[in-house]
Structure 1
């Protein structure tokens, strides 16, 4: 999954979901309102978790390329006030009955 932002104030996010065998199970893309890279990265995490939930996965590995977002999700209390509502939505999904492993991808 990845979020992106261009200087022309166009932002979007998208991702792919694969099963444990690496088989493609779905993908998504979404245009976002004007936002920062940080917000775009939070949006892609939220959308990806929602999508995985709809597909009824009960164990997922979430690959996040933003070190700030990775730390924000791993360490409650870390982070910035900007995006707080998104972080709360993500954390509420992380607390559901499923296993989510967050990995930092480079």
Structure 2
């Protein structure tokens, strides 16, 4: 199973949201979530999305998952072994606690252009009440972005 997650902050110091989805080995979406986080940083939103994605996968009984995130900062923070002092230490510890359960978890970076469905969900999180919400996987907007990601439509990328 793969978990794609993303965080969203409209502008610094404003409301943040998180979103994510679980895909089966064919790329089909089997579960999705959105969460309105209140005011926080984009990095906190990205990490929170990864935690929520893992919690959802564990609850659904998936025991081999691959988290894909488009934030290299969040991936580096969550992958680092040196976590003695960090501004996101409590969230990192929560993430590490989930990873240490009886399952196989891999985390990696993906380009933003390949993470459009998770981006769509994170942005939807701005329009819901504070907290976690399951999201309908048959939503037409989500279906479009899942197909877009699955087909790996090529885009130019400025480097």
TM-score bracket for this pair, using the shorter chain length: over 0.9
Measure the CA separation in 2 of the matches of 1:79 and 1:102: 21
TM-score, length of structure 2 as denominator length: 0.63
> Which has the greater radius of gyration?
2
Q: Which runs of 4+ in 1 moved over 3 A?
A: none
Q: 1:80 to 1:38 in 2, by over 3 A?
A: farther
Task: Looking at secondary structure, tell me which structure has more strand per residue.
Answer: 1
Listed as ranges, the gaps of 5+ residues in structure 1 are: none
Is 1:70 the counterpart of 2:75? The answer is: yes
Structure 2 spans left out of the alignment, 5+ residues? 112-159
Q: CA deviation at 1:21?
A: 2.2
Q: With the length of structure 1 as denominator, give the TM-score of the two structures.
A: 0.92
Contact 1:63 1:105 (8 Å CA) reproduced: yes
Report deviation, 1:33: 1.8
* More helix, by proportion: 2
Aligned residues: CA RMSD: 1.6
In the comparison of the two structures, how many residue pairs are matched? Answer: 106
Bigger RCO of structures 1 and 2 (CA < 8 A, at least 6 apart): 2
